Amino acid sequence: MSEGYSVSEGRSFPMGATVSAQGTNFAIFSEHAEKVELCLFDEMGQTETARIMLPGNTDHVWHGFVEGVHAGALYGYRVYGPYEPQRGHRFNPNKLLLDPYAKRIDGAFHWSSIMYGYDADNPRQDLVKDKRDNSRDMPKCVVVAPLSLSDKERISEARPQVPWHKTIIYETHVKGFTQLNLAIPSSARGTFAGLAHPENLAYIKELGVTAIELLPVHGFIDESFLTAQGLSNYWGYNSLHFFAPHSGYLNDGDPAEFRHFTQAAHEAGLEVILDVVYNHTSEGNHLGPTLSFRGIDNASYYCLQAQDSRFYVNDTGCGNTLNLKHPRVLQMVMDSLRYWVTEMGVDGFRFDLATVLGRESHGFDPGSGFFDAIKQDPVLASVKMIAEPWDIGPGGYQLGNYPTGWSEWNDRYRDTCRRFWRGDPGMLPEFARRIHGSSDLFEHSGRKPSSSVNFITSHDGFTLADLVSYKNRHNEANNEQNSDGHHSNFSENYGVEGETDDDAILYVRERQKRNFLATLFLSQGTPMLLAGDELSRSQKGNNNAYCQDNEINWLDWQALTKKEIALSKFVSHLIKVRSSSPLLTSQRYIHKPDEPDGKISWCVNWINSYGEPMKDAQWAEQHAHCLGWVLEKIPVAEDSDKKSERLLVLFNSGNDDVLFRLPEDENVIGWKCLVDTRFIDGQGVPSCYEPRGEVPLMHKSLCLLKALFDGQDERD
């Protein structure tokens, strides 16, 4: 059924559908296929208008050039080969398959038994091939016109290129951030266009962050068990397309909308980082649907169990594991990453379950093919790379073991800060290591403090407001009998579970929010703020809201109180303090004693509430909750034009107030107070303390002081 089309072998590179003036070249990898057919459809995607056998096969890439097929054409593939699940092969030409390289998808996916490659009603389950054709119900790939070289150059030139040590990440969700913002046109809410709205970008920019990190925006589908319950995969960690933006975030289906968002973000000086899921696909386990990779070449794209290739390696907990050890699968991931950088304007990536990507046959390897490919790539070597350094596979927890140039989500920072401020015993030494940039985890391999992505909360878990309002998770809305989500949250409610009108409880909760936020932005490392935490967004105690596409996750811009606005201003102030001090954004670890850096000596000290250096015995005290952290840079050369700078951060996570004696120094003429979390309304913060005075450090509070030296005043 190829009448009317002139077909030639074309080229095996590049992969996917490549448009030219005369037509389109199609190329798709399948090592074990016996035949591949390109299927073309009418503009409604309902009628198959042509079925063309790809005539070329070069190095397991099937290819063909079809004259007269141009941008906008709808297509899919049928791939022929053995249906032998026990040998890892699940070919079924009755199922229309999506091109792994498709840059745009037309039509929505709907679950039905026809989407499975096997006969779901047969007692032998996936061992029996289903012979029904699914093409009418299957979404279609769309041929997309290439971006011009000048457009690519324009994207490259517009990048803010914020250095790592000055980076502040704002983790957010396309829909959750925009859905309830009435300042945005209703048609744009929940989309990339809404996120690009000047009102949104102005808010993010004014907050002071430098990078927007988006939860997954690659095309994804909802799991069948969720749709059966009226729920959805709101977070989006269920990718099916690695090149096409998720259609639910597009206003009119055009992927260029995402590019327009990154352009608007760059004009505002903001970088864009994508949370990407290359560890598994939405095709699930051996009883999952056949939508793309499974039907194209199951044995190549997925890691299969050695003892029985019918079943999948499940290092992800999602049913399957993408096989990056295969060069063609690795090529696809690399091509995808480059595409999002060069044609969509992305500035970096956060890799979900990144240990999967670096696991070789012998286990996790920081010199794996994936990491080597990234490091030598002329495009990707210069963009930000962030790992979620764990998975559920063997040897899955790899915090601190990633290559140089990578940063990692530091869950030890998260848990330690939570436990310290909750008042857990014996936390001082660990707390000091974490706020100092976790040098014990990263410095040994020559990595910098920015390698540690510090966070108190993220999309996964309690929000900041819930962290100080709930002892227990409340995930009943997820329909899993409240058994899902993290068990150990290290949270506290301070007397009442959830909402309360008790002023004393509300006061300590507000202080604790500020303590967590101040700790985050005053720590060495790269801070990451969860969007909405600065506005006290609550999920009503749900610590696993992955399936809640509703007000539980959406940020309510219309219901902001004076207290919430004050917290947002506090965050903005913290970021300004951080950004203005080299001591808080050091590009290397500061130790005591430290070698002079040119004409400047950098130093860190830890002091007790008497203003004296911490002793070994005091570090070991189980019920010690008070600590002072001194950061300073001192000119060591007579001809230096630099000024001394000293910051003192006072922490008190205990239940008793403390009078903290300031350290004596004849060169210090006073201490300027920059932050004091006991003043939750921003009013009444002392302007300055005497050089040898005492600071009233309330229980559950933090204070940041800046030393004033002779010749300086409070405006310095």
Cβ neighbours of residue 631 closer than 8 Å, sequence gap 6 or more = 583, 584, 590, 603, 604, 646, 647, 649
The active-site residue, picked from 213, 271, 283, 352, is: 352
Residue type, 162: V
Given 171, 388, 533, 645, the catalytic residue: 388
Tokens representing residue 291 in the block: 């939508």
CA distances from 375 to 21, 384, 660 (A): 36, 11, 48
Contact yes or no for 672/687 (Cβ under 8 A)? yes
Q: Are 320 and 312 in contact (CB under 8 A)?
A: yes
Q: How far, rounded to the nearest angstrom, does the alpha carbon of residue 644 sit from its chain's CA centroid? A: 37
Asked whether the beta carbons of 565 and 207 are under 8 A apart, the reply is no
Cα 322 to chain centroid distance, Å, stands at 19
Q: Which helix (H) or strand (E) holds 418?
A: helix 411-422
CB of 293 closer than 8 Å to CB of 315: no
Identify whether 137 is a catalytic site residue.
no
Amino acid identity at 477: A
The per-residue DSSP string of 648-686 comes to: EEEEE-SSS-EEEEPPP-TTEEEEEEEEETT-TTS-S--
Task: Please provide the size of the chain in residues.
Answer: 716
d(CA 167, CA 632): 21
Q: Six-digit token pair at 574?
A: 């913290």
Backbone φ and ψ for 266, nearest 5 degrees, come out as -65, -40
Q: In angstroms, rounded to a whole number, what is the distance separating the alpha carbons of residues 606 and 613?
A: 6
> How far apart, in whole angstroms, are the C-alpha atoms of residue 488 and residue 415?
9
Task: Give 150-159 contacts, CB < 8 A, sequence gap 24+.
Answer: 152/342, 152/343, 155/259, 155/262, 155/263, 155/342, 155/343, 155/344, 155/345, 156/342, 158/263, 158/266, 158/267, 158/345, 159/266, 159/271, 159/345, 159/347
Strand order in the sheet with 626-635: 600-607, 626-635, 645-652, 701-709, 668-676, 688-689
Could you tell me the end-to-end alpha-carbon distance of the chain, in angstroms, rounded to an integer? Answer: 78
Angstrom distances, CA of residue 512 to CA of 41, 363, 508, 564, 584? 58, 41, 6, 14, 21
Torsion angle in degrees (nearest 10) through CA of 318, 323, 324, 325:
140
Q: How far is it, in rounded angstroms, from Cα 327 to Cα 374?
A: 14
Cβ neighbours of residue 495 closer than 8 Å, sequence gap 6 or more:
502, 504, 505
Tell me, yes or no, if 533 is annotated catalytic.
Answer: no
Q: Which residues are catalytic?
A: 352, 388
